[in-house]
Amino acid sequence: MAKIFNKTKKEFTQINNQLLTNSDLTFGARGLIGLMLSRPEEWEFNMDEIASNTKESYYAVQKLIKELETNKYLFRIKRGVPGKKSTFEWLYFLNEVPFSDLDIKEIEEEYLKNKGSNDNAKMTSSLPTTTPISDRRKMGSYINTYTCKNTYVNKTCNMSISKNNLGTNKKGFPIKDKWEKFLIDNISGIDYQTNIQKQIRKLEKNWSEKQIQDYLLETYASGIKQNLSLGLIAKLIANGKRIRENKYPEKKVNKQNTIETKELIAAKNISIEKTKKYLSEQNKVKVEILNGTSNSKMDPLLETLIQKYKDMGLGLGSATMKAGAEFYNLQKSQGSINA
C-alpha cells in the first residue's frame, strides 16, 4: 500500500507560491498536489480514497496525477521488492517545485542500484544525506518496502503491487485489480469507471466470478449488436440490477413449485381460449340479431349484461367483452361451462 509522509503535525500546510501560481497547471492539479501535501504521516496513498474526498472520479484523479507527472511535480519508478519474486512496487516522488532531470536521475540511481534480482536486491536503510534544497519539504530518515520516509525534502510514497503482476492500463497506470484486467483483455473501449467498480463489488456478494464475467461479456455483446455507444454500454454495465435479476435470480425456485406454476398457466390459457371462443360466438349472434339475419337468440342474461355495460357508456365491442367475461364466470360457477 502506498503511503506519503509529512513532517508537519499541525492543522495547516505551507505550500510554495510557485506551485500555486504556476499557470502550466490546471486548478485541479494544484488542488490535488495541495491535498497530497496536506496529508499526515502514514497516510495511505490511494486514488480511490482521494477521489472519495472530492467530486472527481477515479479517472479524473488519474488524469491529474498524469498532469503533475508531465510537469515534473511528481515522478515514479518501478522496482522489484527484495526477497519476493514476481512482485514489484511503484515509488512516487512528490515535490512542491518541479524536479530537475538531474534530481530524477540521482533518485533513480539510488533506488534502482540493486534492481538486477528481486531475490538478491538489498535496500539501504537510509537515503543519501544530501543537503536539502530549500522549498522542498523534509521527510523522515528511512524507507522500506511498506513505509516511505526520505531525507530528501520531497515526499516519497510506495505502492506495492500484488504477486500477480497485472501490468499497466492504456494510460500507463498500474491495473487496479483482476476486473480492470478482464475489461482490458475482453471488452474493448470500456474503462474501469468508479460506478462499474461499485457495481462489480455488489455483484461479488451474490455471484460467482464466472457469472460476473458472463454478465459483462453478454451486456457488452448485446450493446454492440444493437449499435449502442460505448458510453451507453458502460452505463448498462454499471446499472446491472435489472439484468442481474433476470439472468441470475438470487432466490432459488423449488422445482415442484415451478411445475405447478406451469400447469396453472397452461390451465389459465385454456380457459382464456375457451372464453374467447364462447364470446366470439355470442358476439356473432348479437351482430346477426342486430342485422336481422339470424333466427338464433342471444342468451337473455348475456344480452342484459351487454345492455348494462352499454348504459355505462361503453361501445358495443367493449360492452360485449365485459359482459361476456361476467357471463362466463356466472355460467362457470353454476357448472354450465367446463373449464
The domain spans of the chain are 2-160, 178-247, 255-333
* pLDDT number for residue 25: 92
- DSSP β-ladder status, 43-45 and 2-4: antiparallel
Taking residue 134's Cβ as centre, other Cβ atoms within 10 Å add up to 8
Residue range 66-114, pLDDT digits in tens: 999 999 988 888 877 777 776 777 777 888 888 888 888 888 888 777 5
Are the beta carbons of 81 and 118 closer than 8 angstroms? yes
Residue listed under C-alpha cell 357448472: 335
pLDDT for position 6? 53
Supply 251's cell numbers: 432466490
DSSP 142-165: -B-SS-B--SSSSEEEEEEPPSS-
- 76 strand-pairing partners: 92
φ, ψ of residue 208 in degrees (nearest 5): -85, 165
* CA 233 – CA 122 distance, rounded (Å): 48
SS3 assignment, position 308: helix
C-alpha distance across the termini of the chain, in Å: 70
Cβ atoms 181, 166 nearer than 8 A: yes
d(CA 259, CA 237): 33
Residue of 63, 45, 94 lying closest to 173 (CA atoms): 63
CA-CA distance, 108 to 76, in Å (whole number)?
Answer: 9
Residues 6 or more apart whose Cβ sits within 8 Å of residue 101: none
The predicted structure's pLDDT at residue 180: 86
Computed over every residue of the chain, the mean pLDDT equals 68
Least confident of 232-241, 243-252, 257-266, 302-311: 243-252
Q: Are 13 and 27 in contact (CB under 8 A)?
A: no
Q: Say if residue 143's pLDDT is above 60.
A: no
- 19 pLDDT more than 80: yes
Residue 126 burial (CB count, 10 A): 13
**Average of per-residue pLDDT across 17-22:** 86
Q: Kindly report the length of the chain.
A: 339
